[in-house]
Amino acid sequence: MQVNRVTNKLLQNKFLLKSLEKISDHGTSFAAGTSLVLSLTLRTLSINSTPNIDKDNKQYAISNSIASSLVKFGIVEAVALPIENAVNRIDKNAEKYIKISTLKTFGPDSRSYKFVTQSIKLSAGLLTAIPKSILTVALIPVIMDKIFKYNPKKELEKTLEKYPFLNISSHNFFSEQKPLSQKSSEPAFTGGFGAAKTFFGRMNDKLSQVIGNIISNKKVQSIAKRYEMEDEDIYKHMSALTDVVLTGSAVYQTNKSDSIKENCKKVLNYNNIISTAVTLFAGYKADDFIKGRTEKFVTKFKELNKDYKNIDKCIQGIHIVRPAIIFAGIYYALLPIFSIYFADKIDKFVQKSHAKQ
C-alpha cells in the first residue's frame, strides 16, 4: 500500500508532467540531446574497450560517432527547434493559423491533428539527413586531429579547404585582442536588438502560417485521418526512416572522402550499416515488447492525472521517451562493441578473399 502511494505521488509529480510536456513539444531536440550525451560517453567507452581491433579503426569509429552526434544536435537546434516552436504556437492559438472550417473537424484535440503535427516536427530530422552526413564525414578528420592527434597534413588540408568553417585551431580562440580602450573605426551598432526581435518574430509567425496551411490542406488531413492510430509510433517510424537515409548517405560520403584513410573506409561503412540494421531490428522488437507491457502504466498515469489540462501532451511525451531511450540504449551502449568487432572481421575476411584471387 505504501509503495503504491509513493508511486502515485511520483506519477503526479509536477516536474515529471512538465518534463513530458516539453518532450512532446521538442521530441526531435530531446532525441538529439540524448544521442549527444550517450555518444560522448557510453558509445565512446564501448568502442574503446572492444578487444582485437586495429587502433585506426577504433579511432575512426569514435570520431564518426562524436561527429555524427555533434552535427545532429547542431542541425536539429538550427532547423528542428524553429519548426517545433512554430507548431507549439499553432497549438496555443490555432484560430490564428488554421482555417475555422478545418478546426471543426481537425482541431488540436483530435488524434489526426496530433499525428500530423508530430510528423511535421519530426520531419526536420529526415529533411536534414543528407546535410548531416556530409558534415559528419567532413568533421571526422578534424576530430581525429583534435582528440587523437592524428594529423596527416594533406588529408586535413583537403577537408579545411572544402569546409573552412571547420578550422577550430586553438589560435582562433587565443588570438591577440585589441585593448578595451582602443576605439574601433567601425561605427557602434546600437538600437538593433528591437529590430532583430521584430524581424525574427515576423519570420516565426510566417513559419507558423506556412505550417497552418499544411495542416489545413485536405490531402494532408485525409492521410492523417487514415493513419491517426499510428500516432503513438510516429516517432519510431520517422526515426527509422531518417536513420536509413542518413546511413546510406554517410556510406556514399565516406567512399567519396579524400580525408579518410582508404584502408579504414570499409570498416567505417560496415560499422555504420551493421549499427543501423541491428538497431532498427532490435529496437522495433524491444519497443513492441515494452509497449505491450506498459499499456496498463499509461492507463494508470492518465487516470491519476485526468484533471491535468495537458495530459494528452504528457502521453505523447511518454510515447517519444520510450523508443528514444530504447533505440539510443541499443545503438550507443550495447551495440558498439559488436558492430565495430564484426566490421573489422568482415573487412579482414574480404581482404583475404581478394588476396587469394
Q: What is the C-alpha end-to-end distance of the chain, expressed in Å?
A: 72
Task: Name the amino acid, one letter, at 290.
Answer: I
In this prediction, residue 145 carries a pLDDT of: 80
Q: What Rg do the C-alpha atoms of the chain give, in angstroms?
A: 24
- Each residue's pLDDT expressed in tens, for the chain with a length of 357 residues: 555 777 778 888 889 999 998 888 888 788 888 888 888 888 888 888 888 788 888 888 888 888 888 888 888 778 888 888 888 888 888 888 888 888 888 878 888 888 888 888 888 878 888 888 888 888 888 888 888 876 555 555 666 666 665 565 434 433 344 444 444 444 444 455 555 556 656 788 888 899 988 888 889 888 888 888 877 788 788 888 888 998 999 899 889 887 788 888 888 899 889 888 988 888 888 888 887 777 788 888 888 898 888 898 898 888 888 888 888 778 777 777 778 777 877 887 777 776 766
Query: Whole-model pTM above 0.75?
Result: no
Residue 173 to residue 142: CA distance in whole angstroms? 16
Residue with cell 491533428: 113
Give the pLDDT of residue 248.
92
Cell 511535421, residue located = 120
Which pLDDT value is given to residue 151?
Answer: 59
98: helix, strand or coil: coil
Per this entry, what is the length of the chain? Answer: 357
Max CA distance (Å), the chain: 74
DSSP-assigned letters across all residues of 280-342: HHHHHHHHHHHHHTTHHHHHHHHHHTTT-TTHHHHHHHHHHHHHHHHHHHIIIIISHHHHHHH
Question: Of 40, 37, 116, which Cα lies nearest the Cα of 83?
Answer: 116
CA separation for the pair 50, 44 (Å, rounded): 10
Q: Nearest 5°: CA angle at 84, between 80 and 88?
A: 170
Sign of CA dihedral 92, 98, 104, 105: negative
From its phi and psi, is residue 52 left (phi > 0), alpha (psi between -120 and 50) or beta? left
Give the single-character DSSP code of 191. S
H-assigned helices in 12-99 = 14-25, 27-38, 44-48, 55-75, 81-92, 94-97
Cell numbers representing residue 343 in the block: 566490421
Instruction: Work out the angle between the directed axes of helices 14-25 and 311-329 (0-180°, nearest 10).
Output: 70
What are the φ and ψ backbone dihedral angles of 163, each rounded to 5 degrees? Answer: -130, 75
d(CA 222, CA 337) in angstroms, rounded, equals: 45
Neighbour count for residue 295 (Cβ, 10 Å): 9
Residue 1 · residue 209 · CB < 8 Å: no
Domain-wise residue ranges, the chain: 12-168+194-356
| b/e sequence 311-336, b meaning 16+ C-beta within 10 Å | bbbbbbbbbbbbbbebbbbbbbeebb
